[in-house]
């Protein structure tokens, strides 16, 4: 696996695919700079070697047409502030204006190209468009994990024009390493904590990781599909009735593979899906009609903590309660605290997938776990065992 450390960029122009698909407010100010900050080490490495950096990214979903509201120019000043170098901007990502801007780039300088998705060829993976992009650098660096699961021109096809001069940036290399630690090389016991609302959205992940893990904690809304399948009473809790057979099959597969499954034993139930609802702690399989489970209960959290503290490798994907409501966030916070403690004791912990990433950031755990993935869809497809086209393109697979 070639990384950016395998190259010296002195007097070279690096064409870097970054993921600067960041949120903007009504004044076109960047409201979350995490993705830009995550790309900084890769850009700095190129500049410190004595090279120049040509940055390409998409922003939003312009659909192959120019949309001034989604111009990369809006974020150029923020990128400049974060990197500490004045970033130049060019109003296209291919063609004469882009090529002229790159030709004038001197060592130590950074150029930001216009939104890739202003061209239809980006999403369609058009080879001619990818070839035009390839003229803008001598070494291709992919540092955009968030788009690595897309076979787009800038993430996959362009790599074929750099047969020997392509590599992973620091961010993408760290993402690959983190996933490999969980899936292949992690110290045992390996624990996966899967939460969220639906079994159906986690089926392929569960089936793929059963061969990799020793323990599986199931929390959140999908708990109730498993409990009802086992004959429990779940009241008005969320449930996928058509997935109950699948839930039982997962439990059977886990048993056959000596994976210990940990389901909640009690829950915080509410008489309404609202923060100010009446609540009570009940056994997970004895939830009364008119009540619904919205968070893990105290005995469950003790059990979960005990399992987490024994683990040496931990994957967390999905909250264990409706953490967006303060009264039902205690379970997710408790899981975060236990993972923090396990990490301090030497465990490797990876957090990935939309809601769990939002939760760790909201509750301040993002710097207390080993790694927080930057790519939701890409992370999930990796856990499902899929080969991501953006990664395969660099590895030459």
Residue 299 labelled as part of a binding site: no
Residue 20 labelled as part of a binding site: yes
d(CA 240, CA 222): 8
Residue 17 labelled as part of a binding site: no
Instruction: Give catalytic status of residue 354 as yes or no.
Output: yes
Partner residues linked to 269 by β-bridges: 280, 293
Residue 21 labelled as part of a binding site: yes
Residue 235 labelled as part of a binding site: no
d(CA 287, CA 360): 29
**Residue of 40, 286, 337, 377 marked active site:** 377
Instruction: Give catalytic status of residue 299 as yes or no.
Output: no
Residue 64 labelled as part of a binding site: no
Instruction: Give catalytic status of residue 377 as yes or no.
Output: yes
**Residue of 2, 40, 108, 198 marked active site:** 198
Its sign, for the CA torsion 136, 138, 144, 145, is positive
Residue 356 labelled as part of a binding site: yes
Residue 354 labelled as part of a binding site: yes
- CB neighbours (10 Å) of residue 32? 11
**Residue of 35, 181, 212, 228 marked active site:** 35
Give backbone dihedrals phi and psi of 7, rounded to 5 degrees, phi first: -125, 145
Residue 35 labelled as part of a binding site: yes
**Residue of 108, 232, 354, 385 marked active site:** 354
d(CA 354, CA 325): 17
Residue 196 labelled as part of a binding site: no
Residue 106 labelled as part of a binding site: no
E-strand stretches of the chain: 13-17, 52-56, 87-89, 110-112, 139-142, 166-168, 190-194, 215-218, 233-234, 260-262, 266-270, 279-283, 286-287, 292-296, 313-317, 348-351, 371-372
Query: In which residue are the tokens 């903590």 written?
Result: 305
Q: Which residues are catalytic?
A: 35, 198, 354, 377
Numbered residues of the known binding site for ATP: 202, 293, 324, 353-356
| Positions at the binding site for substrate | 19-21, 35, 58-61, 117, 150
Q: Cite the annotated binding site by residue number.
A: 19-21, 35, 58-61, 117, 150, 202, 293, 324, 353-356
């Amino acid at each position: 696996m070639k990384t950016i450390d395998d190259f010296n960029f002195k007097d070279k122009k690096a064409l870097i695919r970054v993921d600067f698909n960041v949120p903007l407010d009504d004044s076109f100010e960047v409201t979350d700079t995490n993705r830009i900050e995550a790309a900084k080490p890769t850009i700095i490495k190129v500049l410190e070697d004595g090279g120049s950096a040509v940055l390409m990214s998409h922003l939003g979903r312009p659909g192959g047409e120019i949309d001034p509201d989604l111009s990369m120019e809006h974020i150029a000043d923020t990128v400049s502030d974060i990197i500490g170098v004045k970033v130049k901007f060019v109003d296209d990502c291919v063609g004469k204006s882009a090529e002229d801007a790159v030709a004038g780039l001197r060592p130590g300088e950074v150029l930001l190209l216009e939104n890739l998705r202003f061209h239809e060829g980006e999403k369609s993976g058009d080879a001619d468009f990818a070839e035009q992009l390839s003229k803008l650098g001598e070494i291709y660096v992919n540092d955009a994990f968030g788009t690595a699961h897309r076979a787009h021109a800038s993430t996959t096809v362009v790599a074929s024009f750099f047969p020997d001069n392509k590599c992973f940036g620091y961010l993408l290399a760290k993402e690959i390493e983190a996933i490999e630690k969980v899936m292949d090389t992690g110290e045992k016991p390996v624990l996966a904590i899967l939460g969220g609302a639906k079994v159906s959205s986690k089926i392929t992940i569960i089936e793929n990781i059963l061969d990799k893990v020793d323990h599986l904690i199931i929390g959140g809304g999908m708990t109730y599909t498993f409990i009802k399948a086992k004959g429990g009473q779940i009241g008005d809790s969320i449930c996928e009735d058509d997935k109950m057979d699948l839930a039982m099959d997962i439990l059977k597969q886990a048993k056959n593979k000596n994976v210990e499954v940990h389901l909640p034993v009690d829950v915080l139930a509410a008489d309404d899906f609202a923060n100010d609802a009446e609540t009570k702690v009940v056994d997970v399989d004895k939830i009364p009609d008119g009540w619904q489970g919205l968070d893990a209960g105290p005995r469950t959290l003790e059990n979960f903590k005990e399992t987490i503290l024994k683990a040496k490798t931990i994957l967390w994907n999905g909250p264990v309660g409706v953490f967006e409501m303060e009264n039902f966030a205690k379970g997710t916070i408790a899981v975060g605290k236990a993972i923090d403690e396990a990490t301090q004791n030497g465990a490797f912990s990876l957090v990935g997938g939309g809601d769990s990433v939002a939760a760790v950031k909201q509750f301040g755990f993002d710097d207390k776990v080993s790694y927080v993935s930057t790519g939701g869809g890409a992370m999930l497809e990796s856990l499902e065992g899929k080969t991501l086209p953006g990664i395969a393109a660099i590895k030459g697979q």
